[in-house]
A and B are shown apart, each in its own frame.
Chain A
């Protein structure tokens, strides 16, 4: 398979373990501090950085998910949430539909939205810039067993093969007259004819894979070595300690 080598930017050069620390620190800080300004800054910086790293096309899916989340959260909580004081005047009324939005519900939605959206944007960026094989190697170096690291990494390797299988099977079934568009019922009926062959194929290959892995010494007790050299620079160390300090600080902030 052809793999694209991307230009190493600051984020890509960071050690994968450092990024895990950073994402942990961000999650703790956003959930425990619950500071709206901090969350908004993280969200905006995250989105700008995604543009700078040229991940915009892939971000479209996540961005769409964030927008749907925002829309449904504010619409439903603003109008229907029981925390609303329905006796008060609504903040505003949507013209034409006459939907009344109340202050408490909107604040409730804002609280949860600003907890999730910044994390979605920033962690998307952090994880997208990790090479998953590097992450597996780094986890193994950090003390995770070889088997667990293998399980983690091989998920990301199986996925493209299965996606390819799925596309082939979808095309084959379409050629046999399966309708994948149209009414909801038709689309429902198309689900199993695609899914069942994809999965059965994959499971039938398991035995071959087991034999291949046996012959390559998967169960050998000899110590396994990894040919990837992962650098750990000064910045990695600084960011790691900064993350630990943030986590401790946010925990202390919550407790006191």
Chain B
């Protein structure tokens, strides 16, 4: 494998081959993340690790495609076609992670934490209205307990759904982005960035 270190993956035909491999891989990693979380009986989705990794390696927009495809395929598998609207959240995750990597801010631990925070807040802002439109605010998951709590405190549906998603997303996307960061750290240099972005020196 070491002999292929100088294969230039950031341009030309080979880049499109890498895109064709990494988009499905991102989708599959997202699904696996969900499965591991399910097997460990964690009350979270953990389904944006793949999106974050693909966005970091291939750039924000390829990551966004991978994220949307994940939501479409997950909804095909579960039959819940309305849930593919949550693809918007994944676009957001991919764009934030992708541009943070391009700006070279995703290398230190601090950068990773800031990225997680941004991703979590963006996901809460986008996720709440989608959940209200699709499910009427209650979506049959761990988030509902928080939502019920905020409803009991006298909030309306939309703000309860939003407030509930902040702690839930901080844990969920926070761990997902952190996992993506850990994995990226461990990859060999020539696989870290195939998007022609700034490389770690």
Contact = CB atoms under 8 A, between A and B. Distances in A.
A123 B17 contact: no
A191 interface: yes
Nearest to A74: B138
A61 B80 CA distance: 12
Contacts of A111: 136
Contacts of A68: 140-141
Contacts, number: 197
B33 A195 contact: yes
A73 B143 CA distance: 12
B130 interface: no
Interface stretch (B94-102, B119-127, B151-159): B151-159
B144 A72 contact: yes
Nearest to B140: A69
Dominant SS among interface residues on chain B: helix
B73 interface: yes
A45 interface: no
Interface string B55-94: 0010000000000010001001111111000000000000
Interface residues of A, number: 72
A76 B144 contact: yes
Given A112-B135, A116-B80, A213-B17, A81 B151 contact: yes
Contacts of B155: 82
Given A23-B81, A116-B135, A198 B32 contact: yes
Contact of B179 (A82, A195, A214): A195
Contacts of A72: 138-141, 144
A245 interface: no
Q: Which of B1, B24, B138 has the most CB of A within 10 A?
A: B138
A187 B41 contact: yes
A32 interface: no
Contacts of B7: 207
Interface in B177-194: 179, 182-183, 186-188, 191
B140 A73 contact: yes
B23 A151 contact: yes
A208 interface: yes
Given A151-B69, A213-B20, A27 B135 contact: no
B117 interface: no
A53 B41 CA distance: 30
B32 A80 contact: no
Contact of B157 (A81, A121, A147, A194): A81
A119 B79 contact: yes
B112 interface: no
A202 B175 contact: no
A27 B46 contact: no
A219 B17 contact: yes
A103 to B, nearest CB: 16
Contact of A119 (B81, B137, B152, B183): B81
22 contacts: A72-B144, A73-B138, A76-B147, A82-B151, A82-B156, A108-B136, A123-B79, A147-B20, A155-B24, A155-B69, A158-B28, A162-B28, A188-B42, A192-B175, A195-B32, A199-B50, A199-B179, A203-B187, A206-B21, A206-B25, A206-B191, A214-B14
Interface of B: 1, 4, 7, 9, 13-14, 16-18, 20-25, 27-29, 31-33, 35-37, 39-42, 46, 49-50, 53, 57, 69, 73, 76-82, 134-141, 144, 147-148, 151-152, 154-157, 175, 179, 182-183, 186-188, 191
